[in-house]
Structure 1
Amino acid sequence: MFPLLGDLRRRLLASAPRPPPLRRLSTITSTPATRAPNTPVAVLWDLAASRPPSKLPLYDSAVRLHLAASSFGRLRLSVAFLHPTHRLSVPDPSADAKQLCRVCGRGFRARDALLRHFDTIHTREHAKRLERIESSRGDRRVRLAASLSLKLSKYAKAARELTAGANPGSPADELHRAGVSAELSRHPSASLRERAQEVLDEGSVRCLVLVSGQDALSPLLRLAREKGVRSVVVGGESGLARWADVGFTWSHVIAGKPRTAAPSFSGKWRDRDVLKRLEWRYEEDDDEEDVVFEEDGDLNRSEELAGSANRKPWWKLESDGEDSCIGG
Structure 2
Amino acid sequence: MVSFIRFRVGGRRVDSSTIPTLTTLIRIFRCYHFNTSRTPKTPDSFASVQSAGRNIVAVFWDLDNKPPRSVSPFDAAIRLKKTVESFGAVRYKIAYANQHSFDYVPPEIREHMRDRRTLNQLENKGVVKPADPYICRVCGRKFYTNEKLINHFMQIHESEHSKQVSQIESAKGSQRVKLVGKYSMKMEKYNNAARDILIPKVGYGLGDELKRAGYWVNVVSNKPQAADVALRNHIVDMMDRRQMECLILVSDDSDFVEVLKEAKLRCLKTVVVGDNNDGDLKRVSDAAFSWQEIIMGKAKKDAVSVVGRWKDSDILKRLEWTYNYERERRLYGSCSEDDDNQNDDLYICNLISGEIKSDQSRAWWKLESDSDVK
Taking structure 2 as the reference length, the TM-score comes to 0.53
User: Which aligned pairs between 1:210-229 and structure 2 lie closer than 5 A?
Assistant: 210-229=249-268
Distance 2:324 2:264 in 1: 23
Q: Which amino acid aligns with 1:83?
A: N
Alpha carbons of 1:119 and 1:275: their partners in 2 closer, same or farther (altered >3 Å)? farther
| 1:85 match | 100
Tell me if 1:247 matches 2:294: no
Q: CA deviation at 1:95?
A: 6.8
Alpha carbons of 1:160 and 1:64: their partners in 2 closer, same or farther (altered >3 Å)? farther
User: Which aligned pairs between 1:164-313 and structure 2 lie closer than 5 A?
Assistant: 169-186=204-221, 187-237=226-276, 238-282=279-323, 288-290=335-337, 291-292=340-341, 293-294=344-345, 296-302=348-354
Distance 1:88 1:59 in 2: 16
User: Which aligned pairs between 1:84-123 and structure 2 lie closer than 5 A?
Assistant: 84-86=99-101, 87-92=103-108, 116=130, 119-120=133-134
Distance 1:220 1:124 in 2: 48
Distance 1:303 1:38 in 2: 64
Alpha carbons of 1:222 and 1:304: their partners in 2 closer, same or farther (altered >3 Å)? closer
In our comparison, the structure showing a higher alpha carbon Rg is 1
Give the secondary structure class of the aligned counterpart of 1:222.
Answer: helix
User: Which aligned pairs between 1:152-163 and structure 2 lie closer than 5 A?
Assistant: 159-163=193-197
Residues 203-262 of structure 1, C-alpha deviations (whole Å, 9 max, x = no match): 121111111222221222222223222111111512211111101111221212221111
| 2:87 match | 72
Q: CA RMSD in A?
A: 4.0
Whether the 8 Å CA contact 2:65–2:251 is kept in 1: the answer is yes
Distance 1:60 1:244 in 2: 26
Structure 1: tracts of 5 or more residues without a match: 1-34, 100-109, 129-151, 307-328
Q: CA deviation at 1:94?
A: 9.1
Alpha carbons of 1:158 and 1:270: their partners in 2 closer, same or farther (altered >3 Å)? same
Q: Which amino acid aligns with 1:89?
A: V
Q: Which amino acid aligns with 2:290?
A: T
Whether the 8 Å CA contact 1:50–1:212 is kept in 2: the answer is yes
Residues 300-326 of structure 1, C-alpha deviations (whole Å, 9 max, x = no match): 2249979xxxxxxxxxxxxxxxxxxxx
| 2:362 match | none
Whether the 8 Å CA contact 2:60–2:94 is kept in 1: the answer is yes
Tell me if 1:63 matches 2:78: yes
Alpha carbons of 1:249 and 1:302: their partners in 2 closer, same or farther (altered >3 Å)? same
Whether the 8 Å CA contact 2:62–2:228 is kept in 1: the answer is yes
Distance 1:69 1:185 in 2: 25
Alpha carbons of 1:259 and 1:126: their partners in 2 closer, same or farther (altered >3 Å)? farther
Identity among equivalent pairs (%): 27
Distance 1:214 1:158 in 2: 35
Tell me if 1:46 matches 2:62: yes
Q: CA deviation at 1:127?
A: 6.1
Alpha carbons of 1:276 and 1:63: their partners in 2 closer, same or farther (altered >3 Å)? same
Whether the 8 Å CA contact 1:88–1:170 is kept in 2: the answer is no
Alpha carbons of 1:296 and 1:215: their partners in 2 closer, same or farther (altered >3 Å)? same
Distance 1:94 1:172 in 2: 17
Taking structure 1 as the reference length, the TM-score comes to 0.59
Q: Which amino acid aligns with 1:265?
A: V
Distance 2:292 2:284 in 1: 20
Aligned residues: 236
Alpha carbons of 1:205 and 1:303: their partners in 2 closer, same or farther (altered >3 Å)? closer
Give the secondary structure class of the aligned counterpart of 1:179.
Answer: coil
Distance 2:356 2:267 in 1: 64
Alpha carbons of 1:257 and 1:282: their partners in 2 closer, same or farther (altered >3 Å)? same
